[in-house]
Structures are given as C-alpha cells and as structure tokens.
Structure 1
Amino acid sequence: MFDIVRLGPGDRGLILTMQERIYAALPEKTVFERSSGEFIEYCLDGGGLCYASLRHGVPVGYRMVYFPRGREFNLAKEVPLPSHEWDRVAHWDTTAVQPEWRGHGLGGLMNARALADLAGTGTRHVFATSSPCNPYGVKPLVTAGLRPVRLVRKFGGHLRFLLYRPFPAGWGADSPRGEEKAVALSAITELEAAFRDGWVGAEVVIDEAGARLRMRRAPLPF
C-alpha cells in the first residue's frame, strides 16, 4: 500500500512542501518544529538519512534522521554522555504525515527502514524529542525502542520529552524488582519528579481515559 524510499540531495523541495502543508493543518502548532532549508540540505547531503512514504508514487509523509557530528545542536549534551561519544549520536528528528494518511502506521514503517539503514553508520546512541502534548508522536518513538528519560525546554522554550535508545542493542533489562507505574502525559510535575528519581518511559497508553506513560526504573546505560 505504501512504499518507503530514501531521499537525496535533490529532494529539499519535496520535504519543504510537505512540511508546510502538514504544519498548516495542525490545530496545535507548538508540537511541531519546522526545519530550515539549510538543515534539510545537511541531512539530505550525507549529514543524515531522509525518507518519504509514497502512496501510488505520491509522497504523503517523511522522516529525517540527523547526525550532529561536530555541529552545535546535539541532544547528547542534555545527559551525562561522555563528550568523546558525541560523534556517535544520531537524532531521530522529524517525522510528519499528511493529515489524511495518519493512522496507517507510516511512522512505524519509516522508523523500521531508518533503523535498518542506521547499521554501519557508527551510531551508538539515538536521541529524539517529542511534545508530551502529542501522544501520537511519542508513541511510535517508544515503539522504535526509544524511552523518554527527561523533560527539556527546546525550540524556543517548548516542553519536550527527551528520548534515548542505545544502538544497536537497545535497552537492557529493567529493575529486577519490576517496579512500574503510569503517569498521565499531562502531569508534567509528576513526570519531572519521576525522571529525577530514576524512572524512564516504557510504553505510551492511549485510551478513553487519556494518554499515559507507563514507567519503569532503569538507569541510563552510560
């Protein structure tokens, strides 16, 4: 039904066009951070990995992965990852799908392709950010093996989950005591306290009661 294709240096306009259409349709625009043309070019031209979801050859969504390397913007600086590891970081950057095609699992399809292609790049640490106001954005990241580990202010002061995944192995075993709790994504003070106390997110649950982060105790693996 959908094809996931790798994009290259000539596809800046394709991403910019989709980005603006998707942004214009959002009722809450603070959950989506638009990328500059320069940033998109960097990712397309070897500084990352970029993909499009095609429906009968027509692009309906995109995913960008960013390699910070020596650039200033590196989410690893938000956690105590040793600086000699910063060049081994990848950002799971923007995923966006046109409104009429949401709910078809495109985020998961693009994540799976990008994770497969990440092998061989030297990446050992994957970071991402996502708004707690957008549980449908957080959930596919957690499904891809990233876990919310902090709340941070980024992109003009907007509140974001900071998510992390070791690569390629993923997270190790959780606390042998099996401690677990669920916290509403809207309960910011409680989430901040839980992160400070050594809890990380393990699953996003969305139902008629709202959106909750199922949390477990698990230390950062560095």
Structure 2
Amino acid sequence: MILNQGYLIKRKSSARHVESYTMRLVDATEINEVMDLQHKVYEGLPNKQVLYKDTKFEMLDDLNNGAMIIGVYNSEERLISYRYISFPGYSKKNLGKDIHLDISELDKVVHLETTLVSPDYRGNRLQSLTLAKAIELIEPLDMKHLICTVSPYNLFSLYNIMSAGLNIKALKRKYASEDLDGMWRFILHKDMSKSFSVEHSELKMLKMDRIFEQRELIDKGYVGYNLIRDSQMIQYSLSQ
C-alpha cells in the first residue's frame, strides 16, 4: 500500500537533482534492505554512540507482533529512509516503565524506534515526513502514549522529535550489553490524550549534552519541552 508520493533532492558531491519518491510499508521479506541501510548509516557516523543498531531478529520479532516499518524508496525503488514503530505491550522493554507510567497504561504505548536517512538524501525532511505518517497510522489504533529514545548528541533527531510535541521525561543509559555499559539516551514522551502546559515561573535551560545537570533537573520533576537548535539549549519546566 502506497502511503505517500512526492519529489526530493538527491545530493552527491556538488551535484543535485530532483527525483520522485514513494513511501510505503516495508515487508518482512525486505528486511535485508533495512539492515543494509542501517549498516551504511552507522559506518558513516563519526560518533557511533548516536545509533543503537537493531538486529534482524529484533525487528522481525517486532514485525510479527504488529510493528511497522515505514520505508521511503527513490525512483530506482531503493530504500533511502525508514522509520520503525513498535508496540511493546507488557514486555520488559516497554519504555513506559522508565518514565513511571502506571502498569494499566503500558498496553497503550507505541515506541518510535529507529529512524534513518541515507546521507545522499538528507535535508529533505524525511524524518518529519515519516513521523507525520507514523502518527497518522497510529491514531486509529486507540493508543495513547508515544515514547522514544534519542541520543543527547544527536541534535537533528532530538529537534525533530521535540518539534512533534514529545517531551524529555528521563535521561539514562540504555542498551547495555556485556561489552557496553549502555548509551546515554533521552526518553521522550507524548500523551496523545492531553496537552503539556509550561510552568513559566519555573524555567531552566541547559545545553543538550550536559548529562548530569539535566539528570538532576529531571529528578526534581522538570520536563524538557523545547530545543533551541542554534544554541543547542534545552528548555525545562516543572511538569504540571
């Protein structure tokens, strides 16, 4: 099923040209294309801590449990971007537990998982376009909580996700393994059933990579609600 179609700009070296794209759901049989794009993006990252690499097993298991991968394909039918969303239910990986959601709310959680864009197609707002489409697909499903993780060192992803109304509710290490202590991640949340209000008398601002100062604020009940992209400052308010 085609979700969207349009045009985008491909950039390579100094050349630019316009080409068409198609947005559609990625089938489980196409998972190797997803893995190939993930590998390409990961290898090009100067800071590998920015991206947690999903395994093929994890993604296939999620797809069997209702997850969706929104893929963007270029004019040659090559995958150039994807957004992966899952429904963790009562599993131990549900991020609702990290922000202390009531147990009765956990089956209303949607995870906004990995979003990647091929370097040749950055600057086309594909993160924003796929997020808008993800929310459109989620709305009829009677879900309530959008939750995701973003690296404190990933300016553009954090800006995009906060611009969509998700707020920082926690900052902790995630994705620990035998080889890694885990990666620092903001945990962002949006309750789709109500709006967030700012307590203007209790505002704070911190640079996005000031890990420990932000953790102290969050522990005191502050919520990160806005990112000023140019200065990389996050605005915090006491939650209402």
1: CA distance, partners of 2:90 / 2:219: 29
Rounded to whole Å, the distance in 2 between the matches of 1:110 and 1:170 is 23
Q: Distance in 2 between matches of 1:187 and 1:63?
A: 28
| 1:117 shift after superposition | 0.2
Gaps of 5+ in 1: none
Counterpart AA for 2:114 = T
Asked if 2 retains the 8 angstrom alpha-carbon contact of 1:184 and 1:213, the reply is yes
Runs of 4+ in 1 over 4 A off after TM superposition: none
Letter in 1 for 2:198: D
Q: Corresponding residue for 2:68?
A: 49
| 1:110 counterpart residue number | 130
Q: What is the match of residue 82 of structure 1?
A: 102
Contact 2:69 2:83 in 1 (8 A): yes
The answer to whether the 8 A contact 2:81-2:115 is kept is yes
The equivalences for 1:113-192 within 5 A come to: 113-156=133-176, 157-167=182-192, 169-175=193-199, 177=200, 179-192=202-215
How far, CA to CA, are the matches of 1:39 and 1:171 in structure 2?
A: 33
Give 1 or 2 for the bigger CA radius of gyration: 2
Cα distance in 1 for partners of 2:130, 2:65 equals 18
Task: Please state whether the residue corresponding to 2:54 is helix, strand or coil.
Answer: coil
* Aligned-residue offset at 1:178: 5.0
What is the aligned partner in structure 1 of residue 229 from structure 2? 206
Cα deviation, residue 46, structure 1: 4.3
| TM-score, with structure 1 as normaliser | 0.90
Residues in 1 aligned to 2:102 and 2:204: alpha-carbon distance in whole angstroms: 30
- SS in structure 1 of the partner of residue 140 of structure 2: coil
1:216 aligns with 2:240: no
Query: How far apart, CA to CA, are the structure 2 residues paired with 1:124 and 1:38?
Result: 27
Instruction: In structure 2, list runs of 5 or more residues that go unmatched.
Output: 1-6, 8-20, 177-181
| CA shift in 2, pair 1:131/1:75, >3 Å | same
Which of 7, 28, 53 lines up with 1:34 in the alignment?
53
Identity of aligned residues (%): 25
Deviation by residue 1:154-191 (Cα, 9 ceiling, x = unmatched): 01221110101112x3533222x454332101222221
